[in-house]
Structure 1
Amino acid sequence: MLRVCWITTFRRPAQDKERLRDSMTRFHSYLHGGTSSLLSTLIVFPVYKTVFRQQIHNIQVHRAVKQLHKEGLVKLYRGVTPPLVMRTLSGTLLFGLQDTFLRLLSLPSLSIIPSSLHPGVAGLGVGMVEALVFTPFERVQNVLQSGHNDRQLPTLKSVLVKLKAQKLSSGYYRAFLPVTARNALGSSLYFGLKGPLSAAVAGQGLSPLVSSFISGTVASMAISLSLYPLSVLVANMQVEVQTEVKGVMACWRMLWNSRQRSVLLLYRGGALVILRSCITWGITTAIYDRQQKSSG
């Protein structure tokens, strides 16, 4: 009996230490996800603003850059708060939940799923949760950005009141199905590709930081190119607040016909968006992986 008590006494501190280490690892995943997204947004925001100026004023890149340079550094970061908050929250959920789901998939009861598929499967779950949390924010942002809604819905408050008066499926959660498909597939591809790509690049003798940046960039390019039509569909569905609510397939047919059934026209405006996404996710991946290795 005495021997058993001694064994139990010695085991408990070790178990408690292991639980504490596990909790800290999970916390670091959420913290580093938010931090990497925050820093990448600050770094890439001038690119975001340059693209925005081109879209609004229909001018070339060098003219947009000249405008921003003339206005100065203070005005360059004007309007950074909303995307900064959104990207930080999104990154916190994205990387934190990915780590949490990976730990769940490692349980013996789920051993039927091959370990090589765990990152992609966990990414599917992350994308679904992300869609559930952020679809209302994306809906409000798209309504506000559309010039067609300026007269009837001139302020944020008016948009919120209008959407609240509608059913969830046609109000805040308009286009929820395509948003979920886009986010789930995107997260699954990102986390499924990130590791193998980073390992392949590192095998060429490049540093871990460069390997992470390239893997994030290439993964983002693959995701953006394949899922850009879904993003266009989401935007077109979510800007509408006055017209009769149509289903996903009806909206897709309208969009396809409006682009003259041309894939090239469907991707119009996508080059700069895809480039911006690649830079953002390259930096985010590099910062996150560096922080995770430092804390490990």
Structure 2
Amino acid sequence: MPGKVKQACQQIAAGGSAGLVEVSLMHPLDVIKTRFQIQGGVNSPTHYTSMADCVRTMVRKEGTFSLYKGILPPILAETPKRAVKFFTFEQYKNLFLFGSPTPTAWTFALAGLCSGLTEAVVINPFERVKVKLQSEQLLFSQQTSAFSAARVIVREKGLGFDGLSKGLTATLGRHGVWNMIYFAFYHNMKGWLPEAEDPKLEFMRKFTLGLIGGTIASTANIPFDVAKSRIQGPQPVAGQVKYKWCFDTIRTVYVEEGFFALYKGLLPKIMRLGPGGAIMLLVYENAYEWLQKNT
């Protein structure tokens, strides 16, 4: 197998492995985050006052497995999603070297931004189905399958911005900002902090950098995440489209509900993507290293 093709396959396989591990561990927090983001205020049909209240309410009304609602689309998507993330990041990184022998801070930031935008295009249809399933207040056993939900969306709304591509503008913002900050922080700080000789200390160095990078990126991009959930979730009034485009939705939420409404679901998001970001990078780097040595 030619060297470039082999390297690409290794990056794709390592990225897919990283995504599968991360989503399997952290999905319940994503469900809780979505529930907070789609509720419009205290007059919403179901209003969660805290993460604990959200978990208790969902388990009582919808069953324990409701915390895993919508997990199939992410599982199906994680291999191509993370594969695209890490593979395209490596390619964009080489592109944005601009003749320099070593990457600069801008190299990592631009490569992260472009990899996030590419990833968003791949992942948005899966996100559309996932949010639909996560927002349904039904018993887990009563829900339709992810494939059935996707077929209904396509049959009723098509593939466009009212159908399976709904929320693409917000998804582009969410993933572009997150990847730009995440990769720029991790790779720049990893270069500044000396590598530890002790394997345990080296593991903690990388885990801590991934955790901090994921936390900062999640805090920065959450207004786009709230907009995505509002656009892809149920509209406040049936038959009326209130949330459609990213920045218009952000403005509407800000005007009607205040600044902090743009940060709904921040705690479960950080609890998921802070550690999740660290787990993802560690799995990717170790899997990629193993594949380079053994394939």
Q: What's the TM-score bracket when you normalise by the shorter of the two chains?
A: 0.7 to 0.9
**Cross-structure match for 1:182:** 174
| Residue of 76, 99, 122 corresponding to 1:111 | 99
Alignment partner, residue 222 of structure 2: 228
Pick from 148, 151, 162: which aligns with 1:170?
Answer: 162
Structure 1 length as normaliser, TM-score? 0.72
Give 1:132's aligned residue.
121
Say which of 112, 134, 140 aligns to 1:145: 134
Structure 1 contact 210–286 (Cα < 8 Å) conserved: no
- For residues 55 and 178 of structure 2, the distance between their equivalents in structure 1, rounded to whole angstroms, comes to 30
Give unmatched runs, 5+ long, in structure 2. Answer: 37-45
Report deviation, 1:48: 5.4
Query: Contact 1:198–1:214 at 8 Å: present in 2 too?
Result: no
Q: Does the CA contact (< 8 Å) of 1:209 and 1:290 recur in 2?
A: no
Please name the residue that 1:121 is paired with: 110
Give distance in 2, aligned partners of 1:248 and 1:26. Answer: 33
1:31 aligns with 13
Q: Secondary structure at the match of 1:207?
A: helix
Aligned match for 1:92, one of 53, 61, 83: 83
Q: Could you say which structure has the higher helix fraction?
A: 1
Measured in 2, the distance between the counterparts of 1:238 and 1:88 equals: 22
Alpha-carbon distance between aligned partners in 2 of 1:96 and 1:220, rounded to the nearest angstrom: 19
Alignment of 1:214 onto 2:208:
yes
2:153 and 2:163 in contact (8 A); partners too: no
Which consecutive residues of structure 1, in runs of 5 or more, have no partner in the other structure? 1-18
CA change 1:99–1:277 in 2 (3 A) is same
Matches within 5 A, 1:37-76: 37-45=19-27, 51=32, 61=52
**Distance between the aligned counterparts of 1:235 and 1:161, measured in 2?**
21
Shift of 1:231: 0.6
Deviates more, 1:73-82 or 1:285-294: 73-82
Distance 2:225 2:28 in 1: 22
Amino acid at match of 1:271: L
User: Shift of residue 140 of structure 1?
Assistant: 2.7
Counterpart for residue 187 of structure 2: 195
Deviation at 1:30, TM superposition (A): 0.9
| Residue aligning to 2:43 | none
Please tell me the residue identity of whatever aligns with 1:216.
G
Pairwise mapping of residues 259-274 of structure 1 onto structure 2 (< 5 A)? 259=257, 261=258, 263-274=259-270
Per-residue deviation, 1:182 = 2.1
Amino acid at match of 1:279: P
Q: Which amino acid is 1:168 matched to?
A: G
Shift of 1:29: 0.9
- Greater C-alpha radius of gyration: 1
- The answer to whether residue 82 in structure 2 is matched with residue 83 in structure 1 is no
